[in-house]
């Protein structure tokens, strides 16, 4: 294997031909070019899209070097932002069974391979046409070879509620959805045999699910702490009630400007049952009650918001069902998270307050900040003029991303 940094090579066409990192696997006759960029946070999605769409370098490498080439864009914002469609990458050194610790997916591989996979949005129209309802996220899986013999998808059905025909796997490709009969359903996964890769997800049959609506699903309670508001001396703690087979990392990516608080999260929920949250030290909890929905993305919104005094160091949180029975109760230590927030370097601190800044800063303050950035030579006249014509929220994002 040969690894080259900032290696300049000749191409027939005029294009960027000095990649940041190039990995050449001589035995496999493959070449991977890692194209790195660090734009402003507000330009991360556009920059990644441009790099993915521009295949000129990849085509030139394959044509001139006669090797299989792949360009992998790695785009991270100046303050650490990444796009929400970050993919998982699993490198399997040989045949065997491999599990992704972030998603819970398990792959039975026939030979050495690289897998690229991500969660995508369910097509509600396809589900309705097939009388199915989502029972987990949809995973789009790709590989240069058809090497996945079996796929294990994590489910959220308790052991005592499992039936032989309660879950199915759907294969989605080119706008069509086909139902695959599971090879086996274990306590944690649904196993299915594959002939080729595309998008796969778990589903319930709507009629069977209706007759089994009294059965619970395995759930998880996730907590995210927001930075205190210095004006009100309050801070918000977001509470998420979710099915257990939602990858925690997916939720963290959606709420990366808040601080995830690890805590024992396992519990059981009933679909459409109403739940409440209790917290004795809370200034306010909203809403007062909320139904539990089998929500599998792409957006994960908080189920409850607990407003706390800014100096709160420990809270007791209880989730109750509509019969006032405790389904989840934990004592949460917030002091470690507060100390970590206060000890963050300035750039990380700005990242955490970014949403609050964007939501609350006034136009006049933004214009003053732009003038100051221009006077200090941090931005030029063109950048300042470009920012001034943008809507207030976009202008705020440009200002905080450049600091």
The model's pLDDT over 367-381, given as tens digits with 9 standing for 90+, comes to: 888 888 888 888 888
What CATH number is given for 217-339 in this structure? 2.60.40.2660
* The residue to which tokens 């796929």 are assigned: 151
Q: 84-215 with 217-339: one CATH topology?
A: no
- Residue 246 half-sphere exposure toward CB, CA atoms < 13 A: 28
For the segment 151-162, the average pLDDT, to the nearest whole number, is 88
Query: How many Å separate Cα 367 from the centre of its chain?
Result: 34
What is the DSSP pairing of strand 106-109 with strand 148-154? antiparallel
The model's pLDDT over 6-42, given as tens digits with 9 standing for 90+, comes to: 556 555 555 455 566 766 666 666 667 777 777 665 5
Q: For the chain, which residues make up each domain, given as ranges?
A: 1-83, 84-215, 217-339, 342-402
In 262-313 the beta strands, taken as DSSP E runs, fall at 266-269, 274-278, 284-286, 290-291, 304-309
Q: Percentage of residues in the chain with pLDDT exceeding 90?
A: 35
d(CA 103, CA 247): 5
What local confidence, expressed as pLDDT, does residue 230 receive? 79
For the segment 225-237, the average pLDDT, to the nearest whole number, is 88
By mean pLDDT, which of 4-8, 49-53, 125-129, 296-300 is the weakest? 4-8
Highest mean pLDDT: which range of 6-20, 232-246, 328-342:
232-246
Dmax of the chain from CA atoms? 72
| 84-215 CATH fold | Chondroitinase Ac; Chain A, domain 3 (2.60.220)
d(CA 83, CA 77): 9
What local confidence, expressed as pLDDT, does residue 51 receive? 67
Residue 177 pairs in a beta bridge with 172
What is the DSSP pairing of strand 304-309 with strand 274-278? unpaired
* Composition of the chain by helix, strand, coil, percent to 5: 25, 35, 40
Query: Closest Cα to residue 342, out of 378, 311, 369, 364?
Result: 311
Highest mean pLDDT: which range of 73-82, 97-106, 369-378:
97-106
d(CA 336, CA 391): 37
The length of the chain in residues reads: 403
d(CA 347, CA 342): 12
Residue 84 pLDDT grade (very low, low, confident, very high; cuts 50, 70, 90)? very low
For the segment 69-75, the average pLDDT, to the nearest whole number, is 71
Cβ–Cβ < 8 Å for 59, 12: no
């Amino acid at each position: 294997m040969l690894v080259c940094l900032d290696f300049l090579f000749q191409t027939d066409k005029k294009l960027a031909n000095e990649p940041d990192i190039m990995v050449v696997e001589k035995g496999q006759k493959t070449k991977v070019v890692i194209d790195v960029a660090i734009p402003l946070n507000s330009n991360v999605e556009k920059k990644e899209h441009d790099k993915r769409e521009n295949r000129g370098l990849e085509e030139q490498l394959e044509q001139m070097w006669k090797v299989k080439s792949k360009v992998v864009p790695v785009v991270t914002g100046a303050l650490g932002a990444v796009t929400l469609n970050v993919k998982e990458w699993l490198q399997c050194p040989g045949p065997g069974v491999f599990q992704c610790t972030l998603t819970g997916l398990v792959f039975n591989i026939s030979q050495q391979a690289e897998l690229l996979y991500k969660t995508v949005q369910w097509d509600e129209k396809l589900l309705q046409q097939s009388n199915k309802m989502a029972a987990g996220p949809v995973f789009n899986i790709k590989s240069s070879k058809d090497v996945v013999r079996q796929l294990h998808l994590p489910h959220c059905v308790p052991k005592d509620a499992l039936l032989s025909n309660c879950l199915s796997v759907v294969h989605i490709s080119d706008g069509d959805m086909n139902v695959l009969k599971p090879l086996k359903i274990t306590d944690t996964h649904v196993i299915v045999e594959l002939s080729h890769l595309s998008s796969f997800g778990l589903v319930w049959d709507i009629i069977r699910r209706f007759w089994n609506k009294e059965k619970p699903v395995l759930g998880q309670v996730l907590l995210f702490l927001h930075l205190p508001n210095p004006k009100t001396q309050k801070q918000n703690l977001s509470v998420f009630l979710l099915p257990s087979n939602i990858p925690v990392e997916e939720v963290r990516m959606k709420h990366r400007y808040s601080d995830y608080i690890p805590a024992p999260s396992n519990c059981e929920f009933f679909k459409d049952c109403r739940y409440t949250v209790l917290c004795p030290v809370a200034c306010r909890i909203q809403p007062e009650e909320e139904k539990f929905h089998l929500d599998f993305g792409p957006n994960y919104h908080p189920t409850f918001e607990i407003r706390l005094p800014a100096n709160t160091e420990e809270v007791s949180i209880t989730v109750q069902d509509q019969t006032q029975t405790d389904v989840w109760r934990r004592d949460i230590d917030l002091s470690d998270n507060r100390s970590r927030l206060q000890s963050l370097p300035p750039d990380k601190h700005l990242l955490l307050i970014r949403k609050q800044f964007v939501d609350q800063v006034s136009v006049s303050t933004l214009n003053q900040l732009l003038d100051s950035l221009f006077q200090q030579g941090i931005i030029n006249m063109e950048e300042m003029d470009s920012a001034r014509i943008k809507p207030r929220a976009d202008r705020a994002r440009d200002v905080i991303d450049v600091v």
